[in-house]
Structure 1
Amino acid sequence: MTADRGGLQSVCKWRRLRLLGTLATLTVRLEVPVYGSPISLMLVIRAIQSRVSNLPTVFSRSATAVLSPLEKKYFPQIGNREIVGYGRSGVPTYYDDISCPFPAIRFRNHDDKIEVLRKKEEGPWNNLTIDEVKTLYRHSFCRTLAESMAPTGMWKMGFAWGFMVMTVGLFFFLYVRLFIVDVPVNVMQLPEYREALQYKKVLGRIGPVHELHNFDVKTRRFRE
């Protein structure tokens, strides 16, 4: 018991020293005037409270947007959007999916206007106008199920990219064919080659020979 009591006293003493150090630091930073010695703790606290209340507010949030511990954990990523369920994987992210039509968080941030509509939604729905119903829906969801299942027309983009790639490839082929590569002439299409082939067939007696009646055996030439 003596050891436990001594440990508790040391912890309390450490907390007091830490509190006094924090107050001294705030006193120096906020330039709180200190008169006399020892320092009156209540006067220092009141002076610090008055100075802090006059400081400009860097970031303020609506009083209606009270965050749960889970929302505070994911606040930098999801902002002020309300977590309403498990979602698709348990991570509070918004994603439109037909197989999982209920996202974990709402689509838009929570504000005072939506808070008024939420309170009105708790009453009879006949009091809500069509625009208010649409506003409530668009606050929770980005698209309807019909909009999610509607064709997106992405196949047109695919065809466009395909034709673009083929056009670039065709122009590149023409450029290489006309300005870079010197394609040799096909020898088999020359008249000299055809005439030599006819002589070879006649003299070697190989295969059929066209216009054989024009061939002169003495001169071994075709007649003009």
Structure 2
Amino acid sequence: MAGRLFANHLRSVIQIQRCGLMTVDRIGNRDVVGYGFNGEPSYLDRTDFPCPAVRWKENTSDIMALREKEKGDWKKLSIEEKKALYRASFRQTFSEIDAPTGEWKGILGLSFIVISAGVWLYIYFKIFAYPEMPETFSLERRLAQLDRMKKLDMNPIEGPLARK
């Protein structure tokens, strides 16, 4: 029982230390404002989880002055100041996140390049690498071979389903 209690305490200490080491390196002097997407102090622009754990920009004197000013009446803030506060906390707006990126064009182009390379490779092998087909593959030769097999009664089908 005492071992489990010690192990649980040790696990929480290790997790706190791990997050503490990662936090200093990754977020700098940005504010941690919430739990985040997965509990780690990271920034992600997501429409399904709109509240990142840290702010987008690091704290500067201008931003800190605006934060002090925002604690008062918001009607006294100008539109530019409100936008600066928003951009300090978030990298993109929802419309910017949902905007098309044009990535499909590159994927489609690469797919066409691969398909075209495959077609050209097939044509190359068909013309230059493979030898000519033997005469026995022509239609008249195959029909003559089938006629000969019937005359010699080769591999007859026997049983209740056989027809003559």
TM-score, normalised on structure 2? 0.65
Which residue is 2:24 aligned to?
Answer: 75
User: Structure 1 residues 134 and 170, CA, compared in 2 at 3 Å: closer, same or farther?
Assistant: same
Matched, 1:127 2:76: yes
Distance 1:138 1:150 in 2: 17
1:133 partner SS = helix
Q: How does 1:9-158 map to 2 (within 5 A)?
A: 73=21, 74-158=23-107
TM-score, normalised on structure 1? 0.49
Of the two structures, which has the highest relative contact order with CA contacts closer than 8 Å and spacing of 6 or more? 2
User: Structure 1 residues 105 and 190, CA, compared in 2 at 3 Å: closer, same or farther?
Assistant: closer
- Letter paired with 2:67: R
Number of aligned residues: 129
2:39 partner SS = coil
Distance 1:174 1:127 in 2: 72
2:33 partner SS = coil
TM-superposed CA distance for 1:71, in Å, is 8.9
Matched, 1:165 2:114: yes
CA contact (8 A) 1:107 1:138 kept: yes
CA contact (8 A) 2:19 2:40 kept: no
- Give the aligned CA root-mean-square deviation in angstroms: 3.1
TM-superposed CA distance for 1:93, in Å, is 0.4
